[in-house]
Structures are given as structure tokens and as C-alpha cells.
């Protein structure tokens, strides 16, 4: 059994990590850290885990974490992660960071959208943890920057097609809707019940921090600069993310042709499900799972390809993908601990 710690384990992404890891066949969860809940049983904070997780939350200390674990998940806010991760790497730990701090290759791009980077050297060796794109690099990595939820939902449908001759990469518009757990557990007016219930709104229009992340990954993969027009929305559901992408077509292409690009790219990828033509993804079908469902349609009248993806923002958009990355880093089956069947409704 591999010993694993979750830093920031009482936030939404951290708690979801605790859930997934507690059912993992090759892992022993040895430590959960929290400042606010130090000394309190994890099951006091999340009573659903009573009888399943018997750990008490502890304050973070590099020494204690290093003694307790070989693999460390950091589920902390950006800026905080980059203060914690370098010490853990120096101690020889494998680290999967869920914040934005180790997702960027270009430190200047990170600094333009976030804050000064305190561990730039590590960006050279950190691997962007999208397993469907970087499987081989993840196998060798000591530090994985786990992708953002919106980028995961945008990149997975686009990657198989971005180099196709019929796609116009300068015309991509992505429109995403996220459940409110995407904003984390801290209390804020924007996620207050009365502000989100029976409401549906756009926010950070063309200015969301996940936009440069998707642009950088797609540009490196496509070998040319790509800028996506991206608008996120908040919907009154707890978990789930639905993304609709519109791409201009340079040549006539059939829905069947698009299907064959998607099918062949994802033929051996266990967590991407391509929907049959004329069935479209629904957040309900991926709830609590590590799946990304992808649907597609060619709008012949307007010469646009429409791609639709659904993920659970807390699983494939965060903690499930982080465990998938750990599985790959440690040579376990990619699906270990992540293979529970979805709820049918």
C-alpha cells in the first residue's frame, strides 16, 4: 500500500480526494491537513464519511507530512500551493497539485493572470496532468499540475480535432456552465443560496483565469498560437460542468467524419466516452464519476462544428483526475479507485 496525504483536505476538492482515495485498492490515506479543523475528526466535518474515514485533521507541517506519506495531494488555493510544494519535492515526495500554480509552462503567462511565482524553477519539470494528452510524461513526473475544471472540459473535446485540416482554430468559442462547488467551500456572497438559487448568470466574461491555461495547452499541442473566446456561467447545481464549443469549418465535413476523429483519438482512453450521434452529454450521467462525455454535431447551414462535453467538476475536473494522475505516476491501472459505475439517474 502507498501512503498518501491530502493537504487542504477539508475543502471541496480535498474532501472529494478523501472520498476517492478511501476506496482506492492500493492506497492508505495517512494524513489530512486543515488549519480551521485541526484536531477534529474528518467525519465531524463531512458526516457522510463516518465509519469510512477515521482520521483526525492535523495542521500542516512539512516534517510530519514527509514522515507520513510518499505521495502528497495539495488541494490548496493558488499562491499557497507554491509555498508548500517545493519543500515536499525536496523531501523526495511525488506531488499532485490541484491549484493553478504548476499548470503553466510560461511563468510570465502565470504572472500576468495570477501573482509573482515563487517556484519558477519547478515549472520546467512540472507536467500538465491531462492524462489523455501527457500520459508518458506523467509516468515519469515527480510534480503534476492538475488541470483546471474548465480547461479539462474544453480541451478534451477540442484536442482530437484541433489539427484537422477542416477546422479553423481562430474561430473557437467555448461557453461553459459550472455547478457552484467549483467556487470552493469558503462562504461568499456570489455563492450564497439566495444569489444562485433559480438564477443563471455569466461571470468573468472573456477574463477568466482558466482562459490562458486552455490557450497555452492547446497552442503547444497544435504548434500554433490559439486564443479561445471563453465565457463561464454559474448554474444552481452543486456539481457538474457542461461546455458547448463552436468552431468554424474551413471545408465541408460530415458528422460521421468528426465521429471517426473522436473515436480514434479516444479508442484506448478509459475515461472519455464519445456519445452516439444525436445523443448529447448531460451532467447527470457523469455525476460522481471520472468520465468526460463528449457529443458533437456539424451545423451544415452555418458551417460550424458544435462540441459538447460534460464532467463532474470535482472528479474529472479535479480530484478524480488527480487520482488518475497518481495511478499513472505509480504504475497502477489508470482506473484504480475510479471504476465505480455511475448513477443511472
Ligand X SMILES: NC(=O)c1ccc[n+]([C@@H]2O[C@H](COP(=O)([O-])OP(=O)(O)OC[C@H]3O[C@@H](n4cnc5c(N)ncnc54)[C@H](OP(=O)(O)O)[C@@H]3O)[C@@H](O)[C@H]2O)c1
- Rg, C-alpha atoms of the chain: 20
Q: Give the closest residue to 74 by CA, choosing from 166, 302, 62.
A: 62
Q: Which is nearer to ligand X, 8 or 295 (CB)?
A: 8
Q: Which is nearer to ligand X, 14 or 295 (CB)?
A: 14
Told to check if 12 binds ligand X by CB under 6 A, we report yes
Told to check if 182 binds ligand X by CB under 6 A, we report yes
Told to check if 5 binds ligand X by CB under 6 A, we report no
**For residues 299-318, which are near ligand X according to CB under 6 A?**
313-314, 317-318
Query: How far, in Å, are 19, 41, 53, 54 from residue 47 at the CA level?
Result: 12, 10, 10, 11
Q: Which is nearer to ligand X, 157 or 169 (CB)?
A: 157
In the complex, minimum distance from the CB of residue 276 to ligand X, in angstroms, rounded to a whole number: 28
**For residues 216-255, which are near ligand X according to CB under 6 A?**
none
Cite the active site residues.
149
Told to check if 78 binds ligand X by CB under 6 A, we report yes
Query: Ramachandran region of residue 198, left (φ > 0), alpha (ψ -120 to 50) or beta?
Result: left
Told to check if 329 binds ligand X by CB under 6 A, we report no
The whole-angstrom separation of Cα 226 and Cα 219 is 5
Among 71, 75, 123, 138, binds ligand X (CB under 6 A): 75
**For residues 79-108, which are near ligand X according to CB under 6 A?**
80, 98-99
DSSP conformational letter for 44: H
The site for ligand X, by CB under 6 A, has a size of: 28
Told to check if 197 binds ligand X by CB under 6 A, we report no
Told to check if 211 binds ligand X by CB under 6 A, we report no
Exposure class string for 220-253: b at 16+ Cβ within 10 A, else e: ebeeeebebebbbbbbebebbbbbbbbbbbeeeb
Told to check if 40 binds ligand X by CB under 6 A, we report no
In the complex, minimum distance from the CB of residue 181 to ligand X, in angstroms, rounded to a whole number: 5
Pairing status of strand 127-128 against strand 71-74:
unpaired
Query: Ramachandran region of residue 332, left (φ > 0), alpha (ψ -120 to 50) or beta?
Result: beta
Told to check if 201 binds ligand X by CB under 6 A, we report no
CB contact set of 330 (below 8 Å; sequence gap of 6+):
2, 26, 71, 94
- Catalog residues that contact ligand X under the rule CB under 6 A: 8, 10-14, 34-37, 75-78, 80, 98-99, 148-149, 181-182, 184-186, 313-314, 317-318
Amino acid at each position: 500500500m502507498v501512503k498518501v496525504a491530502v493537504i487542504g483536505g477539508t475543502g471541496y476538492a480535498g474532501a472529494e480526494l478523501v472520498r476517492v482515495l478511501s476506496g482506492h485498492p492500493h492506497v492508505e490515506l495517512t494524513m489530512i491537513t486543515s488549519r480551521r479543523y485541526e484536531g477534529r475528526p474528518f467525519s465531524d466535518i463531512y458526516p457522510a464519511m463516518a465509519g469510512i474515514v477515521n482520521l483526525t485533521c492535523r495542521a500542516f507541517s512539512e516534517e510530519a507530512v514527509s514522515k507520513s506519506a510518499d505521495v502528497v495531494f495539495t488541494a490548496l488555493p493558488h499562491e499557497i500551493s507554491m509555498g508548500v510544494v517545493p519543500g515536499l519535492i525536496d523531501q523526495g515526495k511525488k506531488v499532485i497539485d490541484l491549484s493553478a500554480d504548476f499548470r503553466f509552462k510560461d511563468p510570465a503567462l502565470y504572472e500576468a493572470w495570477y501573482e509573482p511565482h515563487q517556484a519558477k524553477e519547478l515549472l520546467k519539470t512540472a507536467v500538465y496532468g491531462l492524462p489523455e494528452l501527457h500520459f508518458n510524461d506523467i509516468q515519469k513526473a515527480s510534480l503534476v499540475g492538475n488541470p483546471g475544471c474548465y480547461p479539462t472540459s474544453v480541451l478534451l473535446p477540442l484536442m482530437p480535432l484541433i489539427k484537422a485540416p477542416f477546422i479553423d482554430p481562430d474561430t473557437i468559442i467555448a461557453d461553459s456552465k459550472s455547478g457552484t462547488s467549483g467556487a470552493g467551500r469558503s462562504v461568499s456572497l456570489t455563492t450564497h443560496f439566495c444569489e444562485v438559487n433559480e438564477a443563471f448568470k455569466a461571470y468573468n466574461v472573456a477574463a477568466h483565469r482558466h482562459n490562458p491555461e486552455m490557450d497555452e495547452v492547446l497552442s503547444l499541442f497544435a504548434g500554433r498560437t490559439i486564443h479561445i473566446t471563453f465565457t463561464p456561467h454559474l448554474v444552481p447545481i452543486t456539481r457538474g460542468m457542461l461546455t458547448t464549443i463552436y468552431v468554424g469549418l474551413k471545408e465541408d465535413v460530415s458528422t460521421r467524419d468528426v465521429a471517426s476523429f473522436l473515436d480514434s483519438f479516444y479508442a484506448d482512453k478509459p475515461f472519455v466516452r464519445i456519445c452516439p450521434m444525436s445523443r448529447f452529454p448531460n451532467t447527470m450521467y457523469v455525476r460522481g464519476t471520472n468520465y468526460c462525455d463528449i457529443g458533437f454535431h456539424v451545423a451544415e447551414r452555418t458551417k460550424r462544428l458544435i462540441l459538447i462535453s460534460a464532467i463532474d467538476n470535482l472528479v474529472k475536473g479535479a480530484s478524480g483526475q488527480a487520482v488518475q494522475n497518481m495511478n499513472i505516476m505509480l504504475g497502477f491501472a489508470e482506473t484504480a479507485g475510479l471504476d465505480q459505475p455511475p448513477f443511472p439517474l
